[in-house]
Structure formats: C-alpha cells, structure tokens
Chains A and B, each alone.
Chain A
Amino acid sequence: MATPVLDKVEAEASASPYITVTFRIRRFNPEVSAEAVWEDFQLEIDPKERVLDGLHKIKWDLDGTLTFRRSCAHGICGSDAMRINGRNRLACKTLIKDLNPEKPITVEPIKGLTVLKDLVVDMEPFFQAYRDVMPFLITKETNEPTRERLQSAEDRARFDDTTKCILCAACTSSCPVFWNDGQYFGPAAIVNAHRFIFDSRDEAGEQRLEILNDRDGVWRCRTTFNCTDACPRGIEVTKAIAEVKKALITRRF
C-alpha cells in the first residue's frame, strides 16, 4: 500500500473547515399559502459535507418546518432526489464543495410531479409507471427446478447496469418529455423493464415490449441524455432505452 503519510483527506481535516453558504430553497406549504416562494438561509458548513447535511442544519437549528424526505444519507435509498442548482441530484450524494459555495445554492423539488410541501412531491404516478411494466420475474415453467436456475456470468452481465436502480426518480423528473406529458412512462420504468427483458431467466419479454410499444412508451424518448446525466447510480439510462428500442425493432433480446 501507499506509505501511510498524511494523505490529503487528513491534511484538509486538520484546518478549520467551516465556511458560510447561502441555501436558497423553494418553499411551499398549502396550509399557509397557495404560493411557492424562495427563502434564503445562511449557515456555517464544512464544504466536505453534503447538501443533505445543510438541509438538516436548517431544519434542526433554524426552521423546523422545512420538509424533505431522506433516510440512508449515502445514496442508496432513493429518498432525496431534488433539483440542486438546476440539476437533479441526491442531496446526500452532493458535496457542498462540488457546487461553488460562493453563490447561493438553490434547492427545489424535482419537476413534473405535484409538489405537496417544500421539497416533497407526490411519488405515486412515478411508482404507478414502474408497476405498469410488470417489474418482476415471470417464468412459464410448471416444474420449478429444485436448485437455482443456471445463468452464465455473461448473461448476468447483460442487465447488471439496470439492477442498480434505486427508484429515486431523478431521471424521470429530469426528462422534458415527462414534464410535458405525465402519461409518458419515463426513463425509470423503462430501466426497470430492461432489467427483466434482458434477464435470460425471464419469459415475458414480449409482453413488456408490447407495453413499452404503447404511444406513451419508449418511442416518446428523444434521447436528450438528461436522464443519464441525472442518474446518481451511474446507470447508462439512455443506452438502456436504446437497447429496448432496438429489441422492439428486431424482436431479439
């Protein structure tokens, strides 16, 4: 291993880390007012902290009414997708130092889903689209094998990328087609259909392709790549959609 000298993390940690930043947050509470407004908060924060840490500092020390969803705080539960400086990201995976803390950091709810309070949106349409693609393994076998089904490492690799999805909606709510028409399935649902269509064990690929062949299906995608840029799990969303389109044309998958 590298000689255990003071590495850069530790060197940075020993200097006084705090800086002052402004969070500019889109507030909305229908119990108080029908209008959404911007509100600024100033706080002291270590730039190595997360935007989520900043939101917590506000909620815990300045204004308990600030409302957002979160749980794991390290990018695996998918609770806290929001629009940060105009881009969809997870608040718990975005560090202050990567945002230019000189300027106010804007935080808004993700777009295309109804805002319920502050940064909380109605996720139901998103999950409905997910459920519509039949996101579960379907096999026709009447005699289940006693042991596991076999699958080669290569076959397993074909859908590896799309198994990483945490259903955070960052992709779907960054898609201009979805903003204009909430009926569009959206990238996340297609990603999850891909996960099964390309699984060698699954036998309902045709059915799922038919669902996605619908007028609100994959053909609505205009390949703007917003989804791929937004995905906090690094999934090549646009590529997965392209593979589904190709499978629809060739009927091979």
Chain B
Amino acid sequence: MKIHKYDTVIVGAGGAGMRAAIESTKRSRTAVLTKLYPTRSHTGAAQGGMAAALANVEEDNWEWHTFDTVKGGDYLVDQDAAEILAKEAIDSVLDLEKMGLPFNRTPNGTIDQRRFGGHSRNHGEAPVRRSCYAADRTGHMILQTLYQNCVKEGVEFFNEFYVLDQMITEEDGVKRSAGVVAYELATGEIHVFQAKAVIYASGGCGKFFRVTSNAHTLTGDGQAAVYRRGLPLEDMEFFQFHPTGIWRMGILLTEGARGEGGILRNKDGERFMEKYAPVMKDLASRDVVSRSIYTEIREGRGCGPEGDHVYLDLTHLPPEQLDAKLPDITEFARTYLGIEPYTDPIPIQPTAHYAMGGIPTNVEGEVLSDNSTVVPGLYAAGEVACVSVHGANRLGTNSLLDINVFGRRAGIAAAEYSQKADYVELPENPAEFVVSQIEQLRTSTGTERVAEIRRELQETMDANVMVFRTEQTIKTAVEKIAELRERYKNVAIQDKGKRFNTDLLEAIELGNLLDLAEVMAVSALARKESRGGHYREDYPNRDDVNFMRHTMAYREVGDDGTESIRLDYKPVVQTRYQPMERKY
C-alpha cells in the first residue's frame, strides 16, 4: 500500500474533471485519478454542441436559455443554478475558444450556432440557434482541448487508477472528506490518496441498461463510493432516454441531426412529431420525443418486421451538408448498419443516455450530506453530480455546458478550500474496505458469473424502468435487483492475478451498478407522478402539490447488518418561473 498526499484530488478525467483540474492545478497541488486515459473519457462521445446565448446568428439571451432549461427539466430544476448555468455559458464557450477549441464558424468568422431540442426564442415561440458546435464531434473537441490544456498546465494524472472508496472521518459529529482509496490497474497495488479536497467528476452510470449510448466503463463508481459511506443520492429516478440511438445497439445519433433538418418518421412515412409537439416538432425535449416514438411503436406504427423502431430521415438533406455537419453519425450508420444515409432512412430507437440525478451539490460544487449541510472538502461536478440544473429532463447541449461551468466552479472552490484547510486525519485502517473487497472477490469460490448477473440486470432495467413505468413494472425490477444483489455475494472471477486484472474490476463495477439500480428503482417507485424523464402510466400527470421536490436517497444499515434505502425529500429552488403545463 502506498500513501500519497495532495491538496486536491480529482476523480475522473472527462470534461468536468479536466476543466476542474485546469483551475485547481493553478491554485493547489493536484492529482487527477482516472480509470482510463483522459482522452478515452465519454465526454468525447458527445456530438451536437454546447449551448450558450452568444446571439451570433440570431437574437438570444441568457434569460431565454434559463427559462428553456427550467421548462425542459419540467420545473424540477433549481432555478438559481440554472441561471448560473445560462449566464456563465457565454464565458465558458469563449474560454474554450481561447484554449483552442476549433468551433465551426459563421461566414463572418464568429462561432457558428445551430438549433437543438427544447431551445427556443422568447419562452417557446420558435426554435433558436443556440448550440455552439464543432461538426458532430463537439464533445470530442472539448475533451481534446481540455486535455491539451492540461498538458500545457502540467496537470498530474494517474492513469488507470480506479477509485474504489471515499474516506470519511467524523469529527465532532461533522462528516469530513479525508481522501480516496484507489486501485492501480497495471500492478494491483492499492493507493491511499490523502487530500484536503476531493472532487468527483467520474461520470454516469448508464451501463445498468442494455440499450444505452453509454460506454462500457460508465458504471457509477463515484456515486456508489459516496453512497456507501452514508451520503445521499438525489433524483436518481430521473434518467434520460435519448430519442435517436442506433436500433438495437444504442449508439448515439445526435439531436443535431434533427437540428440540421432531419425528420422522424413512422412506418407510414408520417412525420409523427407534428402530432405531439406542433411548434417544436422533432425538436421537442428528449423525454417528449422518446415517449412519442414508443407511442408510435406501441400503436403499431413502428418500422421493420417486429415494428420495434422508427426512422431518422436525413435523405432530403444535401449530401454536402451531411458531410460537413454530420460526418461522424453518417459514418456510424454506414459502419454499423450498412446504411447509406444519403438515400436511406436510419432505423433508430430511444437509448439510455444520461443520469439527471447524482451526488447532491450546491452551486459551488460542494457535496451535501443532507438537504443543506456541506461535507467539508468534498466536491462533485458533471454527470456524477446533481446541482440540479437538469431537473427531471436535461436539454441537449446543456451537459457539455454543465461540465464546463460547474467543473470550473468546483475546481476553483476545491483548490481555494484546500489552500486554507488542514488535512483531515485518515481513518484508522484506510484501505480496509478495499482490501477486503478485493480479497473476497479474488478468493471467492462462488458459482455466479459477473456477465450473467449484469445481463439479467440490464434486461430487467430495459424492460421495467425505461421510458414507460408502472407500479407493477418498477416492483418487478426492485425484486429482481434484490435477487441479483443476493446472487452477487456468490460471484467469482477467473483472473486471480495482480496485473491488469480487468476481470476483478468488472466485478466491482457490477456491484456499483447493482447498488445504483436499486436506488433508482426505489426512488422511481415512490414518485407517484409523471415528470420529465420519469413517466408513470399509472400516474400520467405531473403532481406539483405532492412531488415538486427532489428525492434524496440514503443507504441505511441496521444493527443486524441488513441494508435498506431511506427516502427523504428536498425542496426545489424556485426564483423567476412558476410551474406551467409543458407544451412544445
């Protein structure tokens, strides 16, 4: 076991982690721990753009952007945070440009902007061009640019280090972050990182679904680590299903395709979104479009022999436009489906995409241990966190924005904190949990296989807590997850070695997914209303009287060691906007 001491430790090297690192490295001695290499992070998969009311191509302002964000989130958004997001968006984009990001340009040389779902002029009048983009690889360009600037600033990375535990020390009844425990993939060695401040920026947890746009590595490790230590998770029932994933594979096809004029059609060739969203049509918010697609499919208007998908039609767009603006996604269609998007429509279905919920934080990125108490020294930003700027449904292009705005804020706040704070004493046996977890898996003689449990988990999640949910389906999922958690105790791995033991880490990742799937299902069961990405067929309306509040889920361990989830609720911050019915 090795012990390291840093002022600030950042967990994860995607957009939020590296944006934080650029700030934090200038102000404090910082280490960035990533289970991949920084440029492998899933920020690189984001395609369409980053929203900011630059007004480069038409009238726009941050207040309209704030409104769209609040409405898009079905009024579960904390409005103070949304206002910061929309206001700071402009400088965030300009900062990236100055760091070298090659945005697409307008004829007069400024940053070009395009339309995106849910972004409108003047509170819903018509779509507005707000998304700043670099072809259909905006996330890739953000990830590369941030990494380039980390190289420039000399940011210290620990690549292929898996953070497996959060150290919390309680002093005078106050929980404080003492640092993290990590596992080095190359050697199997355990490292304790003592740090005055820790920032989680480890991304999402979409791998508990089968059809998902998420990378294999998005297993919610950060959320699980803090949850296991008694800290709450907020709004985990809200998961976004992106309307256009490649049929059966789930690979993302950007909403920018519809921003460029692409149209969704059912088996009769009908542009069905006109029925569901007369103004915004194909550019309604993602939850609305995904539900519309499944409604078409359920009512027998889906395409193909099994009627289980619809089409994304780009055939009316000039090939030059597709080549210039959507080169990557058209290539995905060619590579993975053998389809030529110039002439043939692309089969798509909604794909599990983004966790709106996560580790609760305030607008400085400080993690909360209940509705208002800050955990000194602990921060989170990006998809792992819940500020909450996305509420019940995130708008497209607001997550690349989120990681930049709140990654920067968390980086500054954490570094400033670590400049004035002292180290918190390490817990007595800091690596105890990780050592025993690893030993248990390495020596287990159980009969269960990781892959089988994961398959069954993904099947039950796809079948029961996807776009449409009912009491019945969610209960089925809760029971199944409980069964799988039992069986997980009996899981065994084949690789017993120390070097690059990815077999072991997949087992640990599965444990994280199981924990989070349970939180998600239990939170969803209790929310007896429909709001944003959480749609209950048995409660099809939004219920502001009873459910205009964030869910806070806590892990409880009884005296006999039995685990359970306790749900509590937190008020939504409302400033300018009163809840209205949501129409697109």
Is A22's beta carbon under 8 Å from chain B?
no
Task: Give the contacting residue for A150; candidates B110, B305, B451; CB below 8 A.
Answer: B110
Q: Is B347 in contact with A156, judged by CB distance below 8 angstroms?
A: no
- Give the distance to chain B from A237, nearest Cβ to Cβ, in Å: 17
> A77: nearest residue on chain B (CB-CB)?
B40
Given A131-B151, A150-B108, A156-B104, A3 and B269 contact (CB-CB distance below 8 Å): yes
- Among B116-124, B172-180, B329-337, B424-432, which stretch is in contact with chain A? B329-337
Q: List 18 A-B contacts (CB under 8 A).
A: A2-B315, A7-B339, A7-B344, A29-B497, A65-B495, A67-B500, A72-B42, A77-B40, A93-B335, A116-B186, A116-B500, A144-B98, A148-B94, A148-B97, A148-B98, A151-B109, A156-B102, A201-B100
Is B419's beta carbon under 8 Å from chain A?
no
Task: Give the contacting residue for A9; candidates B141, B149, B151, B338; CB below 8 A.
Answer: B338
Is B140's beta carbon under 8 Å from chain A?
yes
Chain A, residues 151-168, CB within 8 Å of chain B (1/0): the string is: 111001001100111110
Is B437's beta carbon under 8 Å from chain A?
no
**Which residues of the partner chain B approach A147 to less than 8 Å between Cβ atoms?**
94, 110
Chain B positions 137-152 with a Cβ under 8 Å from a chain A Cβ: 137, 140-141, 144, 148-149, 151-152
Secondary structure class of chain B's binding surface, majority of residues: loop
Chain A, residues 223-250, CB within 8 Å of chain B (1/0): the string is: 0000000000010000000000000000
A6 to B216, CA, bound (A): 32
Chain B, residues 246-257, CB within 8 Å of chain A (1/0): the string is: 010101000000
**Which residues of the partner chain A approach B227 to less than 8 Å between Cβ atoms?**
none
Q: Is B45 in contact with A77, judged by CB distance below 8 angstroms?
A: yes
A234 to B137, CA, bound (A): 14
Given A144-B98, A153-B105, A163 and B141 contact (CB-CB distance below 8 Å): yes
Task: Give the contacting residue for A74; candidates B304, B336, B344; CB below 8 A.
Answer: B336
> A14: nearest residue on chain B (CB-CB)?
B305
- Give the distance to chain A from B99, nearest Cβ to Cβ, in Å: 7
**Which residues of the partner chain B approach A148 to less than 8 Å between Cβ atoms?**
93-94, 97-98, 103, 110-111
Task: Give the contacting residue for A1; candidates B42, B135, B345; CB below 8 A.
Answer: B345
Q: Is B137 in contact with A164, judged by CB distance below 8 angstroms?
A: yes
- Give the distance to chain A from B393, nearest Cβ to Cβ, in Å: 24
Task: Give the contacting residue for A63; candidates B40, B216, B347, B494; CB below 8 A.
Answer: B494
Q: Is B99 in contact with A137, judged by CB distance below 8 angstroms?
A: yes
Q: Is A60 in contact with B102, judged by CB distance below 8 angstroms?
A: no
The 4 closest A-B pairs by CB, nearest first: A137-B100, A64-B494, A60-B451, A150-B109
Is A73's beta carbon under 8 Å from chain B?
yes
Find the residue from A6, A61, A153 having the highest chain B CB count within 10 A: A153
Q: Is A1 in contact with B265, judged by CB distance below 8 angstroms?
A: yes
A65 to B368, CA, bound (A): 40
Task: Give the contacting residue for A4; candidates B141, B267, B305, B332; CB below 8 A.
Answer: B267
Q: Is A72 in contact with B311, judged by CB distance below 8 angstroms?
A: no
Q: Is B40 in contact with A79, judged by CB distance below 8 angstroms?
A: yes
**Which residues of the partner chain B approach A73 to less than 8 Å between Cβ atoms?**
215-216, 251
A153 to B325, CA, bound (A): 13
A15 to B148, CA, bound (A): 48
**Which residues of the partner chain A approach B541 to less than 8 Å between Cβ atoms?**
none
Is A103's beta carbon under 8 Å from chain B?
no
Q: Is B109 in contact with A152, judged by CB distance below 8 angstroms?
A: yes
Chain A positions 125-177 with a Cβ under 8 Å from a chain B Cβ: 127, 131, 135-137, 144, 146-153, 156, 159-160, 163-167
Task: Give the contacting residue for B216; candidates A71, A75, A149, A199; CB below 8 A.
Answer: A71
Is A30's beta carbon under 8 Å from chain B?
yes
A60 to B141, CA, bound (A): 33
Given A64-B494, A147-B94, A4 and B345 contact (CB-CB distance below 8 Å): yes
- Give the distance to chain B from A231, nearest Cβ to Cβ, in Å: 13
A123 to B186, CA, bound (A): 12
**Which residues of the partner chain B approach A67 to less than 8 Å between Cβ atoms?**
495, 500-503
Q: Is B217 in contact with A71, judged by CB distance below 8 angstroms?
A: yes
A153 to B332, CA, bound (A): 25
